Amino acid sequence: MTFESGLYVVATPIGNLADISHRAIELLKAAEIVAVEDSRVTGKLLHHLGIKKKMRRYNDHSGGVERDSLVAAARGGVVALVSDAGTPLISDPGYKLVRAARDAGVPVFTIPGASAVTAALSICGLPTDRFLFAGFLPNKAKARVETLMELGQIKATLVFYEAGPRLAASLAAIADTYGDREVAVARELTKKFEEVVTGTAAELAARYAEQEPKGEIVLIIGPPADDVATETGDVDAALKEALETMSAAKAAGAIAKRFGLERNAVYARATELKAQ
């Protein structure tokens, strides 16, 4: 198998190393340089495959000098871009490198494969005809709720990555904002302790508050019910307008109904805006 010069975006396993594709293995063998997030992580994969390659770190802290060097190398040779697990650029660094390569006229190719987002969606039992992947929810409680209120208007399944120590708090915020929408927690996909747990956000928040989960987590939230008429737009702007003529309680009720959100979450936001 031969490969022309260029930058290759290569998907790697999210857990089970046997999930890597034959084409990805051949590409890694052919690459002059493998650009990695963490050489220790990718080094284990390459060792498993019996491949010895020059690795060059490329992550969120890399700048223009590193990008220009990789683009130059890809102009006359094969450069592979990998993440620690899954498909690069899906909540991972790399888009600036791809953009720089394309702007420079260097060919960019994909070697597709595993992705935790699509893997979790395929087995969670929630609607998949329309979904939005939104990375990680914010760390701070206020920003987390604001993000959920913004996304809650979208008629689609919502997908997030999450960390074990934050999972219970995120689920509690989802319960406060979206009520009894169905939620799925997919954990350690393709690994020995793989599990997918479904239920309401409140039920799962209680479950994971008792025992903090370990491993990589994908958090999936079902879309609003079809019989709930929701409006799309700026919730804060609508709240501010309503607060000009209504109390916080009445404004919260009206806006929650318009946007298909939980009244308590909207009321909390209304009181914040009124205080400001």
**Would you say residue 25 lies in a domain?**
yes
* CATH number, position 202: 3.30.950.10
Last residue within a domain, chosen from 95, 114, 133:
114
Does the pLDDT of residue 193 top 60, yes or no? yes
Cross-strand partners of 110: 9
Q: For residues 9 and 138, give the distance between their C-alpha atoms in angstroms, rounded to a whole number.
A: 27
* CATH number, position 100: 3.40.1010.10
- Which tokens belong to 134? 């939104």
Largest distance between two CA atoms of the chain: 70
Contact (Cβ atoms closer than 8 angstroms) between residue 6 and residue 70 = no
134 and 90 both lie in a single domain: no
Q: What 3-state DSSP class applies to 120?
A: helix
pLDDT digits (tens, 9 = 90+) for 6-56: 999 999 999 999 999 999 999 999 999 999 999 999 999 999 999 999 999
Contact (Cβ atoms closer than 8 angstroms) between residue 93 and residue 50 = no
123 and 107 both lie in a single domain: no
Last residue within a domain, chosen from 114, 134, 150:
114
11 and 102 both lie in a single domain: yes
14 and 107 both lie in a single domain: yes
Q: For residues 89 and 10, give the distance between their C-alpha atoms in angstroms, rounded to a whole number.
A: 10
Last residue within a domain, chosen from 199, 221, 243:
221
185 and 201 both lie in a single domain: yes
**Would you say residue 159 lies in a domain?**
yes
Burial 77-106 (b: 16+ CB within 10 A, else e): ebbbbbbbbbbbbbbbbbebbbebbeeeeb
As for how many domains the chain has, the answer is 3
Question: What type of residue is 196?
Answer: V
Question: What type of residue is 137?
Answer: L
Q: What 3-state DSSP class applies to 72?
A: helix
Q: For residues 133 and 94, give the distance between their C-alpha atoms in angstroms, rounded to a whole number.
A: 17
54 and 65 both lie in a single domain: yes
**Would you say residue 83 lies in a domain?**
yes
**Would you say residue 43 lies in a domain?**
yes
181 and 241 both lie in a single domain: no
**Would you say residue 40 lies in a domain?**
yes
Q: What is the mean pLDDT of the chain?
A: 91
85 and 155 both lie in a single domain: no
- Which tokens belong to 140? 């701070």
184 and 244 both lie in a single domain: no
Contact (Cβ atoms closer than 8 angstroms) between residue 150 and residue 194 = no
- Helices 235-243, 263-275: crossing angle, 10 deg rounding: 70
**Would you say residue 227 lies in a domain?**
no
Q: For residues 236 and 273, give the distance between their C-alpha atoms in angstroms, rounded to a whole number.
A: 8
**Would you say residue 50 lies in a domain?**
yes
98 and 69 both lie in a single domain: yes
Q: In this predicted structure, what is the pLDDT of residue 87?
A: 94
Does the pLDDT of residue 77 top 60, yes or no? yes
Does the pLDDT of residue 78 top 70, yes or no? yes
Q: For residues 174 and 167, give the distance between their C-alpha atoms in angstroms, rounded to a whole number.
A: 10
Q: In this predicted structure, what is the pLDDT of residue 232?
A: 54
Range of the structural domain that residue 105 is part of: 6-114
- Which tokens belong to 59? 């992550």
Does the pLDDT of residue 117 top 90, yes or no? yes
The CA–CA distances, whole Å, from 275 to 1, 243, 268, 269, 271 equal 65, 11, 11, 10, 6
**Would you say residue 226 lies in a domain?**
no
List, as one string, the DSSP characters of 242-274: HHTTS-HHHHHHHHHHHHT--HHHHHHHHHHHH
pLDDT digits (tens, 9 = 90+) for 223-275: 987 654 455 568 888 888 888 887 887 888 888 877 778 777 888 888 888 77
pLDDT digits (tens, 9 = 90+) for 147-187: 998 898 788 999 999 999 999 999 999 998 888 889 999 99
Contact (Cβ atoms closer than 8 angstroms) between residue 232 and residue 147 = no
- Helices 164-178, 141-151: crossing angle, 10 deg rounding: 50
Q: In this predicted structure, what is the pLDDT of residue 143?
A: 92
30 and 103 both lie in a single domain: yes
103 and 22 both lie in a single domain: yes
